[in-house]
Amino acid sequence: MGASLPPKEANLFKLLVKSYETKQYKKGLKAADAILKKFPDHGETLSMKGLTLNCMDRKSEAYELVRLGLKNDLKSHVCWHVYGLLYRSDREYREAIKCYRNALKIDPDNIEILRDLSLLQAQMRDLTGFVETRQQLLTLKPNHRMNWIGFAVSHHLNSNPSKAVDILEAYEGTLEDDYPPDNERCEHGEMLLYKISLLEECGLLERALDELHKKESKIVDKLAYKEQEVSLLVKLGHLEEGEKLYRMLLSMNPDNYRYYEGLQKCVGLLSESGQYSSDEIDRLEALYKLLGQQYRWSSAVKRIPLDYLNGEKFREAADNYIRPLLTKGIPSLFSDLSPLYDQPGKAEILEKLILELEQSIRSTCGYPGSAETEPPSTLMWTVFYLAQHYDRHGQYDIALAKIDEAIEHTPTVIDLYLVKGRILKHAGNVLSACCRLIRFPWQKRQ
């Protein structure tokens, strides 16, 4: 870069590039102008100045300068690379790829251009080209771990996971026995977990589990290790071992829904359709009752039973789940419960339950059967839920009345205005919805 310049200007060109990389754009422009004062037709400087201006939102000037720079020096890989970067910034990826390829015709072994090209090939799903470019990068820099991993990923994306495994094993074959050093243990461990997931994808479950156990000492992320192990155990049919591991994982994170799903699968209580027999429901009740006693503060252990319970048991479980969330003021409560509206009868039970809670809060400032006084915000969140409930049922007049009541109660909660905008949209009043979302009450006072 800047090879055709005298030493002083060559140093200024290096400063220009460094200023661009460190986002010191004004400093870079000064360096560019100093060069162009003596060499006004220097193509690479014109291109770099254009690239710098592009970062300052002066796009028309940027394109003009980059094209002028390329016109003055068509045989410069820098000018073509910069032109590609300009197109990439405007998401013109195909044009950017053309520019990168022209740059590589001039400098075929340029690591930076090859890396940029590979990223856009992946972006545009040119997976065959992605594989070729990553292979070229590996050939040029075989001592860089990321080039091995990038080559493996390219084959994985190109629907060839077995080849990706071979590449990662070839990379492992280049390492010393005491590898990795302490500062690279995390990255190496992630690479090993990736290789094991590839083996799992290839259907080589026994081999994957054996590899996982062999490399346990080199895998730093013990949680990911256990999750990978339990996934393989369950797929291999070792359900008793899987159950033990899922219970261990739940003790670490009792709000992870995947762990509960895995535990249900291990004990034979997971239905893909969501339909359960009365005997299975009884067994699920017993399971989650024990889990609920063990993890009293878990939200997931209270939410999951709502999916399979019915009738009065559903109402009781929903009541226990909803009350603390209304007290805390969780805006996403309706979104959390909305899948239940697709199950027959549950929407009606929820409506009746929330209306009872609303009436009790209005009359006694507390929940039914509770001596504790609720904060004023609980009523607002209860009305907020009802507004979304009626919106879901197409009762827009009632929904609007409820959301207006909530806004009047606490006009500083943004979620209320978002929901009102949504209700207005559903009611067919799109213009009012837009105005509601654009203008909040406190904006008028500013």
- The pair of three-digit structure tokens given for residue 284, joined into one six-digit string: 């699920």
Torsion over CA: 69, 71, 72, 76 (sign): positive
pLDDT at 273 over 90: no
Residue length, the chain?
446
pLDDT tens-digit series, residues 57-100: 999 999 999 999 999 999 999 999 999 999 999 999 999 999 99
pLDDT tens, residue by residue, 208-225: 999 999 999 999 999 999
User: Phi/psi at 142 (nearest 5 deg)?
Assistant: -70, -10
Conformational region of residue 6, where left means phi above 0, alpha means psi within -120 to 50, and beta covers everything else: beta
**Which of 263, 297, 326 is the endpoint of a domain?**
263
Q: Are residues 242 and 357 in the same domain?
A: no
Q: Residues 421, 365: one domain? A: yes
Task: Please give the share of the chain, as a percent, with pLDDT higher than 70.
Answer: 96
Q: What does the pLDDT read at residue 180?
A: 81
For 333-343, the pLDDT digits (tens) are 999 999 999 99
Task: Look at 140-149, 168-177, 286-295, 301-310 and tell me which has the smallest mean pLDDT.
Answer: 168-177
Instruction: Check residues 84 and 431 and name the one with the higher pLDDT.
Output: 84
Mean pLDDT computed over 378-401: 95
Number of compact structural domains in the chain: 2
pLDDT band at 445 (very low <50, low <70, confident <90, very high): very low
Question: Does residue 206 sit within a domain?
Answer: yes
Residue 348 and residue 242 in one domain = no
What is the structure's pLDDT at 231? 97
Q: Are 316 and 426 members of one domain?
A: yes
Q: What is the pLDDT of residues 221-248, one digit of tens each?
A: 999 999 999 999 999 999 999 999 999 9
Q: Are residues 337 and 426 in the same domain?
A: yes
pLDDT, position 2: 54
441 and 314 fall within a common domain: yes
Kindly tell me if the per-residue pLDDT of 344 is higher than 60. Answer: yes
Q: Among the three residues 263, 293, 318, which one is the final residue of a domain in this structure?
A: 263
Q: Is the pLDDT of residue 178 over 80?
A: no
Has residue 312 got a pLDDT over 50? yes
Is the confidence at residue 52, as pLDDT, over 80? yes
What is the per-residue pLDDT for 444?
45
Q: What is the pLDDT of residue 432?
A: 64
Q: Within this chain, do residues 252 and 350 fall inside the same structural domain, yes or no?
A: no
For position 127, what pLDDT does the model report?
A: 97
Q: Tell me the CATH number at 352.
A: 1.25.40.10
318 and 407 housed in the same domain: yes
Inform me whether the pLDDT recorded for 430 exceeds 70.
Answer: no
Mean pLDDT of 150-176: 95
- The DSSP secondary structure of 161-215, one letter per residue, reads HHHHHHHHHHHHHTS-TTPSPGGGHHHHHHHHHHHHHHHHHTT-HHHHHHHHHHT
297 by Cβ neighbours in 10 Å (0-12 / 13-18 / 19+) ranks as exposed
In a domain, 294, yes or no: no
pLDDT score, position 361: 94
- Say if residue 243 is in the same domain as residue 352: no
pLDDT (average), residues 427-445: 60
Residue ending a domain, among 263, 292, 323, is: 263
Cα four-point dihedral sign 45, 48, 50, 53: negative
**What is the domain range of residue 234?**
185-263
Residue 66 near residue 55, CB atoms below 8 Å: no
Asked if the bond preceding 7 is cis, omega within 30° of 0, the reply is no
Residue 90 forms part of a structural domain: no
User: What's the CATH code of the domain at 208?
Assistant: 1.25.40
Query: Is 4's pLDDT higher than 90?
Result: no
CA distance 238 to 262: 12
Question: Is the residue at 37 inside a domain?
Answer: no
What pLDDT does 439 receive?
A: 58
Report the chain's mean pLDDT, rounded to a whole number: 93
- Within a domain: 390: yes
